[in-house]
Each structure stands twice: as C-alpha cells, then as structure tokens.
C-alpha cells in the first residue's frame, strides 16, 4: 500500500514538474488545476476549521466556524451587538463567532483579556484607520507605538489639566442653555417647546471638544444645521465598512469635508504659532510631537487622523451617555425628582438668582453627588459606549475560559453581557435603576467596564465625567422636561453608539 501511494505521489510530482517545465497543458487544463487547487484549499479550510483547529471545540453556530459571513453582514448595519448578546445566551460564556474570532462574556475572562494579559488590539481595529499605514492612539496595535503616543497625550487628560478646562466647557454648556431658553421664549414662554435634545447635546459635545482640545468652538450648536455631526456619523459607518470589507477601501475614500475642516484648523494653528502664540492643548501637543529617534514630527495627515479620532471619541460618547441619562430619567420620574432635589440641595442659591440668568454649576460641587454619578454610571452599565465589545488579539497560544486560543486569534471582551447579567447585577439587571449604585455592595467586582480597562482604558474619562455632569446638572437645574412617550430608542453601533433615529424629542419649559 505504502509503495503504491509513494508511486502515485512520484507520478503526480513528475506530471506537475514536466507540465510546468514544458508548459504542456492547455488553458482549459490550467483553469481546471487552479480551480481544483482552490476547491482543495476550501475543503482543507473547512475541515481544519471544523475538526482540527483548537477553536473547533468552542461552541457556536456551525456557519461561524467556516465563515465570517454572519459577522460581516451584521457589522455594517450596526446591530452586531444584538447578535452577540443572543449568541452568549444560547451558547454560554465562550462562543466562536468567526473562524478566527471568539466572543468572551465571563467576567474573569474579560479581566484576563483586558487587564492581566493586556492583549494588543486586533487587526480588525487597525482596519478602521483611514490609512492603515498610520497608527493612532485608539487604533494602535503596536504596544510600543501606543505607549509613546499615550505618554505624549496623557498630560492633556490629567484630572488637574481637565479642571483647568472647566471655564471653556462652562461656556459651551451656557450656549446650550441659552439656545433652549431662547427657543422657549420664542415659542411663547407659557407653553413648552419641543426640541430634539439628543441632537443638541451632541452638538454641544462636539463644540466642547473643539473649544478645549483644538483652540476654538466649532459652533455646531449655534449653526443648527452644521454638516459636521452628520459627516462624523457617516465616517464612523464607513470606517466599519472599510474594516469589514477591505476591498471596498478604494470606493470609500476619506470624506473631503471633514479632512478639509480639520486640516484647516491645524494650518490655522501652525500660522498662529508662527506669530508666537502657543496655546497649551492637545492640538499643540500633536504639532510639537517629535519622534525620539528621528526627531521627525507628525505629517499633516497623521495630525488630522489623530485629531479626527479625538473628535469622534470625545463627542458621541459623552453626548450619547448624557442624553440617554436624561431619556431614562424621564422614564423614571421618582429618580428624576430625587436627582433634582439632590442638585437643588447642592446649589441652593440657584432659585434665588435672577430667573433670566441661566445657571451652570461648578464641577467641584457636582463631582461627589451620589445620585448624579449613579445615574451616569447606570446609563454606561445598561448601554456602554463599547456596545459591541473590545477586540484584542492573542500574541501567543493562550488559555482563556478553559480553551486553548491559538496565537493570532481575535478575542472579543464582550462586557456588555456581564454588565447586564442577572447573575451579577440581580433580577432587575435589565432595568435602568440608578439607585443600585448608591450601595457599593451592589456593584459586583469586575462587573463594570464602562471606560474599558488595562493599558487601553479611556484616556478621556476625567474629561467625560466633567462634561457629562455639567451638561446633565445644568439641564435639570434650569428647565423642566416632559417625556414624549413611545419614541424609538433603538441603537446602532459603529465604533460609538447612537440612537437609530438620531432623535429624542422632549417638551421643555423654564423652571
């Protein structure tokens, strides 16, 4: 038998060698051989993925073992997180979601991925870069690059530095209050005005990041129909599509509007520097950055890329959380009343002030307010910004969740499931109940990852907390809001989450 097999192999080898050397095969034969090689490769991959790969023992839908199709078709629609949740309910804490990707929903596994092993970001994340050659803080998969960029930018996010930005945030929040106030007055102050608070808070957050990080408000709120928020959303969706289907990259170029908008800001700053003015903010840090070895600075594109990342990371995240907090408060009047009482107790003079003056509380007076913090934490628990999970990649064969995960596998720390699990958070885990945060015993250890964890933990968390507390408290201290029931609160997630309708209307009147 062995001899026969050997003879066969020798004959096949001989045939191919002669054929290749003498080109003694027709075009039809060539197509046939290539097609058979392709079919053999497909069959090999299917057999390997289903029966031989160490991942083959991990539960999950059969199709996921051989194809990325189930994930690919959901990502561009922004609803992959719903599927992940249903998979983990059906298959348990470790699920294979693609031939080379595994979903983890156990809290210890998530801690291992993000903190103990502190795995690097996966190649999937690198795909969301506009130009894959350039890394940014959020997308960096090279740990050394990440460390250097993080060291460079950290001073702009320290709690001390963020406190110094408070007057700038104050002016943007004041502009939001003024716009609401003026709308109520122009509507005839005795009746409530209907506004899309979701959109206005989003515009405010973009202005805050412009004012604090790039030297001047983008004035998005003022120019109600500014194209930037829509362009940012389109860019987020395109980034996911480019990462999911790399062959579509040439057909989905970077949007010229945002590139020009941000590049102009950079050029204006460089011109300002030439006049001797050097504001101390993120933009200046990027302009001044020099490579330790080569002494070279960032190119204009690299600066644009990093600035754009901050505009994305710093706007839709905190605005989503702040406006969803308000939406849920309106659905839970008892908590709304308690929160307003907490705020009025902390700022008793707000009532005695001139009613025509709008009041923005200082952050020092807000930061320790228990219910305010609980409301924001509860919104981040129920609807985390990283709704589809945090994707990392193994660099060596690693045991996670009792399975051998080979080197180069994408692992998704899907903490959304942990944060909404009845096992960890009790029978009301799927309800929005901020009061649970008032007793620290109710918060399970390693059960909350609102800002991520490990070396990639959100660099902007002090910034976000300051901004969210100021926006929410200012709205509630100055106005009365009424819920308009039965609005669609369905979410989509493209890097950051948003309401599918981009709309949450409220009726608002002066207090």
Q: What is the C-alpha to C-alpha distance for residues 218 and 210, in angstroms, rounded to an integer?
A: 6
Give the span between the Cα atoms of 105 and 89, in whole angstroms. 10
Pick the closest to residue 96 from 73, 122, 137, 67 (CA basis).
Answer: 67
Choices 176-184, 327-335, 379-387, 428-436 (CB under 6 A): range interacting with ligand HEM: 379-387
Give the SS3 label for residue 457: coil
Which CB, 98 or 386, lies closer to ligand HEM?
386
- Among 8-16, 334-342, 382-390, 483-491, which window interacts with ligand HEM (CB under 6 A)? 382-390
Cα separation, 364 vs 67, in Å, equals 52
Contact code string over 207-246 relative to ligand HEM, x by CB under 6 A: --x-------------------------------------
- Rule CB under 6 A: say whether 313 interacts with ligand HEM: yes
Minimum distance of ligand HEM from residue 1's CB (angstroms): 55
| Cβ count within 10 A of residue 443 | 14
Q: What is the 3-state secondary structure (H, E, C) of 412-441?
A: EECHHHHHCCHHHHCCCCCCCCHHHHHCHH
- Please tell me whether residue 436 binds ligand HEM under the rule CB under 6 A: no
| Ordered DSSP codes for 373-426 | HHHHHHHHHHS-SSTT-EEEE-SS-EEETTEEE-TT-EEEE-HHHHHT-HHHH-
CB of 169 to ligand HEM, least distance (A): 11
**Gap between the Cα atoms of 322 and 467, Å rounded:** 9
Pairing of strands 94-98, 101-104: antiparallel
- Segment lying near ligand HEM (by CB under 6 A), choices 32-40, 243-251, 317-325, 421-429: 317-325
C-beta of 53 vs 199, nearer to ligand HEM: 199
314 near ligand HEM, judged by CB under 6 A: yes
Considering the complex, what minimum distance in angstroms separates the CB of residue 361 from ligand HEM?
Answer: 19
Residue with the shortest CB distance to ligand HEM: 460
Q: Which is nearer to ligand HEM, 98 or 114 (CB)?
A: 114
Of 66, 119, 63, residue with least CA distance to 410: 119
* Residue among 403, 414, 451, 494 that touches ligand HEM (CB under 6 A): 451
372, 380, 405, 418: which one binds ligand HEM (CB under 6 A): 380
Q: Which of 221, 286, 385, 483 binds ligand HEM (CB under 6 A)?
A: 385
Asked if residue 318 binds ligand HEM (CB under 6 A), the reply is: yes
Closest CA to 506 of 175, 198, 202, 187: 198
* Cα–Cα distance, 154 to 26 (Å, whole number): 64
Smallest gap from Cβ 456 to ligand HEM, in A, equals 4
Q: Judged by CB under 6 A, which stretch of 168-176, 221-229, 328-336, 456-464 contacts ligand HEM?
A: 456-464
Interaction with ligand HEM in 74-103: which residues (CB under 6 A)?
A: none
Residue 198 near ligand HEM by CB under 6 A: no
- R_g of the chain, CA atoms, integer Å: 27
Q: What does the DSSP assignment read for 287-341? A: HH---TTT-----HHHHHHHHHHHHHHHHHHHHHHHHHHHHHHHH-HHHHHHHHH
Q: How far is the CB of 419 from ligand HEM (least distance, A)?
A: 11
The nearer residue to ligand HEM, 58 or 390, going by C-beta atoms, is 390
Residue 50 annotated in ligand binding: no
Q: Which of 130, 210, 361, 452 binds ligand HEM (CB under 6 A)?
A: 452
Binding mask 463-492 for ligand HEM (x = CB under 6 A): xx----------------------------
Q: Report the distance separating Cα 263 and Cα 268, nearest Å.
A: 9
Of 102-110, 223-231, 295-303, 450-458, the segment contacting ligand HEM by CB under 6 A is 450-458
Minimal distance in Å, beta carbon 84 to ligand HEM? 15
Q: Which of residues 128-167 bind ligand HEM (CB under 6 A)?
A: 137-138, 150
Per the CB < 8 A criterion, the answer to whether 497 and 391 are in contact is no
Q: Which stretch binds ligand HEM (CB under 6 A): 35-43, 271-279, 378-386, 425-433?
A: 378-386
Q: Is 413 left (phi over 0), alpha (psi -120 to 50) or beta?
A: beta
Structure tokens, 127: 């795909």
How many residues of this chain interact with ligand HEM, rule: CB under 6 A?
23
Dig out the tokens for 438 from the structure: 């008032």
- DSSP reduced 3-state for 50: helix
Residues that bind ligand HEM (CB under 6 A): 137-138, 150, 209, 310, 313-314, 317-318, 321, 380, 385-386, 390, 450-452, 456, 458-460, 463-464
Residues annotated as binding site? 458
Residues annotated as binding site for heme? 458
């Amino acid at each position: 038998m062995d001899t026969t097999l050997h003879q066969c192999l020798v004959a096949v080898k001989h045939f191919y060698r002669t054929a290749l050397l003498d080109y003694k095969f027709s075009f039809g034969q060539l197509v046939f051989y290539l097609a058979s090689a392709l079919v053999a490769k497909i069959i090999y991959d299917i057999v390997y993925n289903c029966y031989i790969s160490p991942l083959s023992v991990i539960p999950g839908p059969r199709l996921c073992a051989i194809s990325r199709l189930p994930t690919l078709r959901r990502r561009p629609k922004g609803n992959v997180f719903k599927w992940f949740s249903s998979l983990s309910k059906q298959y348990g804490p470790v699920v294979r979601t693609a031939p080379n990707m595994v979903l983890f929903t156990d809290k210890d596994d998530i801690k291992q991925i993000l903190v103990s092993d502190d795995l690097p970001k996966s190649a999937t994340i690198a795909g969301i870069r506009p130009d894959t050659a350039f890394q940014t803080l959020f997308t960096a998969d090279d740990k050394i690059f990440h460390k250097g960029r993080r060291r460079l930018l950290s001073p702009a996010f320290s709690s001390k530095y963020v406190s110094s930005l408070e007057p700038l945030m104050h002016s943007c929040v004041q502009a939001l209050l003024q716009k609401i106030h003026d709308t109520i007055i122009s509507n005839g102050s005795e009746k409530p005005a209907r506004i899309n608070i979701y959109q206005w808070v989003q515009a405010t957050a973009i202005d805050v990041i412009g004012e604090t990080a790039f030297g001047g408000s983008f004035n998005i709120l003022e120019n109600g129909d500014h194209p930037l928020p829509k362009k940012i959303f389109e860019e987020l969706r395109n980034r996911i599509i480019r990462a999911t289907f790399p062959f579509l990259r040439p057909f989905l170029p970077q949007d010229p509007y945002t590139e020009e908008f941000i590049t102009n800001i950079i050029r204006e700053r460089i011109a300002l520097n030439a006049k001797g003015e050097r504001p101390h903010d993120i933009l200046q840090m990027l302009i001044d950055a020099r490579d330790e070895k080569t002494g070279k600075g960032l190119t204009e594109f690299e600066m644009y890329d990093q600035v754009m990342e901050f505009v994305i990371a710093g706007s839709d995240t905190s605005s989503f959380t702040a406006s969803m907090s308000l939406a849920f408060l309106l659905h839970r009047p008892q908590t709304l009343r308690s929160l307003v009482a907490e705020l009025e107790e902390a700022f008793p003079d707000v009532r005695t002030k001139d009613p025509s003056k709008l009041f923005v509380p200082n952050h020092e007076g807000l930061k320790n307010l228990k219910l305010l913090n609980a409301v924001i934490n509860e919104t981040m628990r129920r609807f985390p910004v990283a709704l589809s999970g945090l994707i990392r990649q193994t660099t060596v064969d690693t045991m996670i969740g009792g399975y051998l995960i080979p080197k180069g596998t994408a692992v998704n720390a899907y903490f959304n499931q942990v944060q909404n699990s009845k096992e960890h958070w009790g029978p009301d885990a799927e309800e929005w109940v901020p009061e649970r945060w008032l007793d620290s015993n109710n918060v399970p250890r390693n059960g909350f990852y609102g800002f991520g964890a490990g070396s990639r933990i959100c660099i902007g968390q002090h910034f976000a907390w300051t901004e969210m507390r100021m926006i929410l408290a200012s709205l509630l201290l100055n106005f009365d809001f009424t819920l308009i029931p039965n609005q669609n609160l369905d979410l989509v997630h493209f890097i950051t989450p948003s309401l599918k309708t981009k709309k949450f209307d409220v009726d608002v009147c002066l207090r």
